[in-house]
Structure 1
């Protein structure tokens, strides 16, 4: 049954259906996408006709691109018994329906159809999403009203149709009454809550109903579909939390408000992935204050739309939010880790010093001063060895120098940070969470926090130096890694396959690194020939998977001389083998001969 806000829609449709004569016009039920038009009308039809679907025909025009396709949809709606049969084959549905009505194809017209099939009302939904020309679609529907005397209800979002002269002219002829559907939050919310399976999430959302209603109203999207999707997404997020997280009501309330607001903004196309990734957080907010001439960032505008929510709250990182909102990724481990490091669950005493400095706006002067002193001591001791921590500390030092808190120029900070990286490299203490591909290192954030000063030339210089040093450190490690791989090939050939072949689902950091170029050719050949034939085959499969699709022309080009040398060495050793071994190894070599031929041509000196 309708709520008070849409009672006028229900009442008029009841009046229209009950007319004893042909009305001579159609009724348009209009409203924005997701407002609940379809839900309201299907509920109306169910109640009005006591769930007897034989009294109405409901046709969705969504994606239909021709009158023929609309014919098919009409027959399929009128005769659902044909659904799932051979009649669904393209072009067969309408023909099967005509046969069912005992009408010859040449005699087909809508008036003839209405004479044979007398429904009390015909409904055409999603008018704005029909891909056929709008004037032809309205002309088609008009035949039901003008020539068949039928009662017709059309559902559409007229805002998406736009100002079209043909539409306006045909609309005036066809539509006798327009009914505007309004979003009905309370009714829809109760229905959506009932469909949430996770008991904890369902209970918390019910408790937060007032907050959600307020945010929904402030969003002014009037879109119940977005509300439902957001609630389902939050259910998945809530399920990733631990009991100690859900027990902190302030934390979970903060999360719900932030996630609902960002979901509404993203799903409502008012904020993009890039806006969330780079245009949210303390750094973005500070930049707003300094650059008054720049266009306002979308999330700053959104922040004014929702006065009860801090849209720049750092309780979750922008990277995690993008994964959740844009890609649908709910990484329980990442969520828990970031929450544990947030202000709701971490104590300053247990917090890394650089994190306390980063949270300067939430820490007391005494806490900040103690943390800064400790961070600087750790910097002098070269205690930070992970790439993300190094970048955070360098960014913070640039920020503090800029504010006069650290008595250094920004140029001095750059020089000191570069020296810091060089010292770690010399001591072989430089670590990287990005393994062999420094390009994967987050430029703007790490550990759930955005890096200070990441948009400055000074920070970019430090970042570039760190990346190049890590790359060199990785290259320096190749000889040791090559020895490890050779040992692995001898002891556990399947593990060797997983480590070096991109065609394997468990492919590791060795896949994109030219580590094999540092493996002595004779050592590899001797180890290979000593393997059992079944293990030799696995090695060749690994190499084939490693080098196919042109990878020797890309990231593994430094291995070209190596693989050519291996091929030549194995070919030379063939004469030392038994006839059957010669045949077997020769067949293995043929598996990647084409790759080697290409490599020979490209590796041959000019």
Structure 2
């Protein structure tokens, strides 16, 4: 246990050794003062381990939030014998607690008054040594200023152990919180024989916490970044070593060496970037900086916005931090969004939901770092264009232009940023060729390579932001680029709609062989999307007449649920023309239908369809 305290606090350790190790009954307690986050509690826990290694029994009691002396009783008993204090040992616990009551001759009744020499019946059993008060027993009371009991009451309680039982007792507090209390000063004179002020020693505490990481490889890289970690800890300004320790072990759970390896080499650069982002976001999150989600800031109090203003505000998110609170955060760390490496959604999964998805982590690390390192795209080279020579700039701009003209880009991030850079350069009069034709070609290429997600029918600005790879878009302020973003979203929607012909064919098949799945798709999967507008009314009616009657009625029940249960989506209004055509075609069929078909249409289908129409309007 050597080396856990620095030179400015060595005298405290020496006095504690004198106080706790000697056989003398001091008849006073020792008080240790220190500011919150100074490391005093960490130091005490290290010192407790030192005493326990010598065979001492230490009961460490946090007074934080305790409001009755009986609560302190319970905490002492739990420390002395956690098994008897557990819910599964209540009866035996009462027996042992009764024995402890006899030994302490103190208030186990919760009335906050010393009971004197309490007469109790001790069972005829052999009690273990740790239930007997000996010179090897130590009491430690932490967080004195956070106890909800009156200061005179809690100190009087502690005084009983010191004065009547001669138990060596340490009290830990942030004295600045209670030093003006007259009762504290008065009782302190009688109770406390030695007072020490702990000198902040965060560096040693941080080093000690990092050394608790048993993984040799991770411990090595963490210690090699010790100065960076200290800098982050102080920059965050959340001087809470307990939270810091949680962050360290959260990072240990997250860390895999393979995340940071490229071509067999450990990339210390990306490791340091992720480490820095992880510690900042984790500590700020524990500090309560974010609104439920990582990097989600308090919104400015604004007047009601028009749709156009909302659209422009959403576009601002493509660049960086938006809002006063977010701007303060950005200024504090001087880091752009892309420097946090992972997307907001991924950070939220890692730090709030405790989900470690190796596949997604590797994918984002590749997109944000390894791809640029292996084969830097042209727009990435243009990112710091002011550092380029005239010749380099001209060459890269030409390369960017050709990459759009010849459809060379197969990555959405590259398309987005290449167009953004070219539009920005045009607006700044740094290039002379027109860009309008390039926008059309870029949209065509985007539509070709974008992958559809069945659950995403339309793209919004935030979806496109994620595709920007965490790098701000240079041209975000210019109307021509705003229109380009809108055209990208429309291109995705057009591609989605083009696949509707396959989707409605699947629905027709499900009507016949899996009516449950048909029901699920039109009431859940497409509950807010007018998919049935893409289905020919005649084909739907033909299928109703062709399939098993029960399946047909189940399909109509699906329509009923779609238009009535989910009426709040207004989906009926979007598909009303389609539904009216079904009813019209069914009436037309009556003239040519066979007897059974006429019966099904006239007496079964049409009444049900009319009922649905009536209910949908009510909704």
Taking structure 1 as the reference length, the TM-score comes to 0.67
Q: Which SS does the other structure have where 1:153 is aligned?
A: strand
Match of 1:482 among 496, 504, 510: 504
Residue 589 of structure 1 is matched in structure 2 by none
Match of 2:333 among 290, 296, 302: 302
C-alpha separation in 2, matches of 1:424 and 1:534: 46
**Is 2:455 the partner of 1:452?**
no
Residue 376 of structure 1 is matched in structure 2 by 401
CA contact 1:58–1:123 (8 Å) conserved in 2: yes
**Is 2:57 the partner of 1:32?**
no
CA contact 1:24–1:146 (8 Å) conserved in 2: yes
Q: Residue by residue, what CA displacement relative to the aligned partner does 1:297-319 show, whole Å, maximum 9, x if unpaired?
A: 4444435xxxxxx8887482553
C-alpha separation in 1, matches of 2:257 and 2:59: 41
Q: CA deviation at 1:604?
A: 5.3
Residue 125 of structure 1 is matched in structure 2 by 142
Match of 1:205 among 211, 218, 222: 222
Residue 399 of structure 1 is matched in structure 2 by 424
| Superposition RMSD in Å | 5.8
Match of 1:60 among 59, 62, 67: 62
**Is 2:6 the partner of 1:4?**
yes
CA contact 1:75–1:93 (8 Å) conserved in 2: no
Match of 1:333 among 315, 340, 359: 359
Residue 152 of structure 1 is matched in structure 2 by 169
Q: CA deviation at 1:442?
A: 3.4
Match of 2:615 among 584, 601, 606: 601
CA contact 1:386–1:433 (8 Å) conserved in 2: no
Residue 15 of structure 1 is matched in structure 2 by 18
Residue 306 of structure 1 is matched in structure 2 by none
Structure 1 segment 508-547 matched on structure 2, within 5 A: 510=526, 512-516=528-532, 518-519=534-535, 523=539
Change (3 A) 1:388 1:154: same
Q: Which SS does the other structure have where 1:449 is aligned?
A: coil
Residue 123 of structure 2 is matched in structure 1 by none
Q: Residue by residue, what CA displacement relative to the aligned partner does 1:328-359 show, whole Å, maximum 9, x if unpaired?
A: 554433443444445665468x4444444345
Q: CA deviation at 1:500?
A: 5.9
Number of paired residues? 554
C-alpha separation in 1, matches of 2:297 and 2:264: 29
**Is 2:97 the partner of 1:97?**
yes
Change (3 A) 1:152 1:260: same
CA contact 1:552–1:559 (8 Å) conserved in 2: no
Residue 41 of structure 1 is matched in structure 2 by 44
| More deviation, 525-534/41-50 | 525-534
Change (3 A) 1:93 1:604: same
Q: CA deviation at 1:207?
A: 4.8
Change (3 A) 1:146 1:407: farther
Change (3 A) 1:166 1:203: same
Q: Residue by residue, what CA displacement relative to the aligned partner does 1:470-525 show, whole Å, maximum 9, x if unpaired?
A: 556645654543223434665677876886675xxxxx7x5653324544567557
Taking structure 2 as the reference length, the TM-score comes to 0.66
Residue 303 of structure 2 is matched in structure 1 by none
Q: Which SS does the other structure have where 1:40 is aligned?
A: helix
Change (3 A) 1:345 1:13: same
Q: Which SS does the other structure have where 2:255 is aligned?
A: helix
**Is 2:269 the partner of 1:251?**
yes
C-alpha separation in 2, matches of 1:538 and 1:88: 58
Q: Residue by residue, what CA displacement relative to the aligned partner does 1:447-467 show, whole Å, maximum 9, x if unpaired?
A: 523232476263545444544
C-alpha separation in 1, matches of 2:100 and 2:581: 73
Q: Which SS does the other structure have where 2:463 is aligned?
A: coil
C-alpha separation in 2, matches of 1:3 and 1:541: 75
C-alpha separation in 1, matches of 2:406 and 2:515: 42
Residue 439 of structure 1 is matched in structure 2 by 460
Match of 2:87 among 85, 88, 91: 85
CA contact 2:260–2:271 (8 Å) conserved in 1: no
Structure 1 segment 498-517 matched on structure 2, within 5 A: 502=524, 510=526, 512-516=528-532
Structure 1 segment 101-116 matched on structure 2, within 5 A: 101=101, 111-112=114-115
CA contact 2:379–2:400 (8 Å) conserved in 1: yes
Q: Residue by residue, what CA displacement relative to the aligned partner does 1:225-263 show, whole Å, maximum 9, x if unpaired?
A: 455444434442334516426614443454366346635
Q: Which SS does the other structure have where 1:450 is aligned?
A: coil
Q: CA deviation at 1:265?
A: 5.9
Change (3 A) 1:189 1:79: same
Q: Which SS does the other structure have where 2:256 is aligned?
A: helix
Q: Which SS does the other structure have where 2:59 is aligned?
A: strand
C-alpha separation in 2, matches of 1:465 and 1:171: 76
**Is 2:382 the partner of 1:357?**
yes
C-alpha separation in 2, matches of 1:73 and 1:331: 40
| More deviation, 44-53/377-386 | 377-386
Change (3 A) 1:449 1:222: closer
| More deviation, 492-501/5-14 | 492-501
C-alpha separation in 1, matches of 2:398 and 2:110: 91
CA contact 1:241–1:336 (8 Å) conserved in 2: yes
**Is 2:114 the partner of 1:73?**
no
| More deviation, 531-540/353-362 | 531-540
C-alpha separation in 2, matches of 1:7 and 1:496: 75
Change (3 A) 1:188 1:454: same
Q: Which SS does the other structure have where 1:48 is aligned?
A: helix
C-alpha separation in 1, matches of 2:6 and 2:451: 61
C-alpha separation in 1, matches of 2:416 and 2:336: 25
C-alpha separation in 1, matches of 2:96 and 2:496: 68
